[in-house]
Structure formats: C-alpha cells, structure tokens
Amino acid sequence: MHYYRYSNAEVSCWYKYLLFSYNIVFWLAGVAFLAAGLWAWSEKGVLSDLTKVTGLHGLDPVVLVLVVGIVMFTLGFAGCVGALRENICLLKFFCGTIVFIFLLELAVAVMAFLFQDWVRDRVKEFFENNIKSYRDDIDLQNIIDSLQRINHCCGAQGPEDWDFNIYFDCKSESKSREKCGVPFSCCIPDPAQKVVNTQCGYDIRTKSKSQWDDQIFVKGCIHALEAWLPRNIYIVAGVFIAISLLQIFGIFLARTLISDIEAVKASNAF
C-alpha cells in the first residue's frame, strides 16, 4: 500500500537531498575510519605481512576501526547513490541495515540488563585475553593503559590478573625485568612527578599485599566499570538515545523517499 503526500505523486527534493546530506556524513566518516585503520596497520607492518593479524590473541583495536569504517562507508555510499539515483534497491539496503543495527543494539542492551552475570563473565574473559596480549600490540597496550589509568584500576579482578601475561607472571620461567610486577598504568601517580615513571610497577607483587595500597591500584577494572556505570547512567542513556534518534531519523527519510519513488512509478504505470 502506497501513501501519497501530494495530489500528483512526485519525489520530494527536500527529503531526497536531506537523505543525501545525512549519508554524506556517514560516507566521509567511513573514509576517515578506513584511512586511520589502514595507516595504523601500515605503521605496524601488517599490510606487508597479514599473518600479524592472526598472531594477536587479544583484540586488535585497528580491526574494530576498520570494521566500523567499512560499515559506515558501505551504508553512506548506498544511501548517497540511492538518494541521488532514486534507486529503491540501494535505499532498501540502507534502510534494512540501519533497522538491523538498531534492533541489534536494543537486543544487546536488553541482554546485558537481563543476564548481568553472564555479561560480567564474558567481560572478564575478554579482559584476561587482552592482558595476555598486552605486549604484542602497541594499540592494545595503549588502550589497557588508558583504561587502568583513567579508572584507577589494575587487571580484570585485581593486580594478580597480570600473571596471565608471560612478562609479568610471577611463576613464569621468563627472565623479564617486569616479572612479578604490573604495568606503570597500575601505579598511583605522584603529583610531584612531571615525568611518568614507567618502572614504578617493577617487583611490586613480590611485596606483601598490605604494601600494595600505597603504590598501585588494587581494584579490578571490572569492578571499576561496574561502579562507573551507575554514576554516569544519564550520560550513557543520553548517548544511546541520541544514536537511536539519528538512526530512526535515517530510517524515516529512507522509507519516505522509497514511498515517494514507488508512488511515482505507480502513477506512471497508469
């Protein structure tokens, strides 16, 4: 069933170019993400040796950037060309993908709320896997360091989790100088120090746990994130609502333009 907003069916230039403008932002953002990802891979030598991608057991942040870039680039391209060329197939692809992403986000949010223990276990497992690969990838290392430094935490459940990494493991046969220590991002910063002491975590876990409180963060990052969420629930909810409204707006524009095109085709058929 088609609906007609005009006595004589026609494609609205307003909706057509509004959808084009909406998607050009998607497309440019996708190009930027792809460029940043490919540049990061070239700096790490991945483009000359793709086996380095599978060599990392944890998360390679660049892969996430590239996936987001590919999705945004594809959606932006489909939306732009679909709007300009009035191509129903491309517009339906754009609209359907946005609907799928929106429903996926909604499902993840509901599942995370209903199955909090399962989510906590998966986050713990994910964090531990990335701790194992801490020294394998500079981007992953920077993300973990930032997470620990900003949230004043260390490890997934606590500093002992750094035993998962061969360089920090107290029981390892490794002769690493970092053995039985923690990364510098676990250290409580000294306001008087202007230069970061990257060796502040050396040998800290050879000392008694009563001495840890004065030198490193003893709270695990999972607990820190669980405490952060209730304090910032309105910010998180606001971001989720803003993203959802943008997606709904894009769906509305695409569906309206599709209806206009179908209405014109139907009127021309008579």
Residue 173 lies in a domain: no
Residue 258 lies in a domain: yes
| CA 248/CA 90 separation, integer angstroms | 18
Residue 199 lies in a domain: no
Q: Which residues of the chain have pLDDT under 50?
A: 1-7
Instruction: Dump pLDDT digits (tens) for 196-220.
Output: 888 999 999 999 888 898 899 999 9
Residue 68 lies in a domain: yes
pTM higher than 0.85: no
Q: How many domains does the chain have?
A: 1
Predicted pLDDT at 41: 79
- Give me the domain span that covers residue 244: 13-47+58-115+231-268
Predicted pLDDT at 61: 79
Instruction: Dump pLDDT digits (tens) for 157-178.
Output: 999 999 999 999 998 777 888 9
Residue 251 lies in a domain: yes
| CA 141/CA 183 separation, integer angstroms | 10
Residue 25 lies in a domain: yes
Predicted pLDDT at 9: 60
Predicted pLDDT at 48: 56
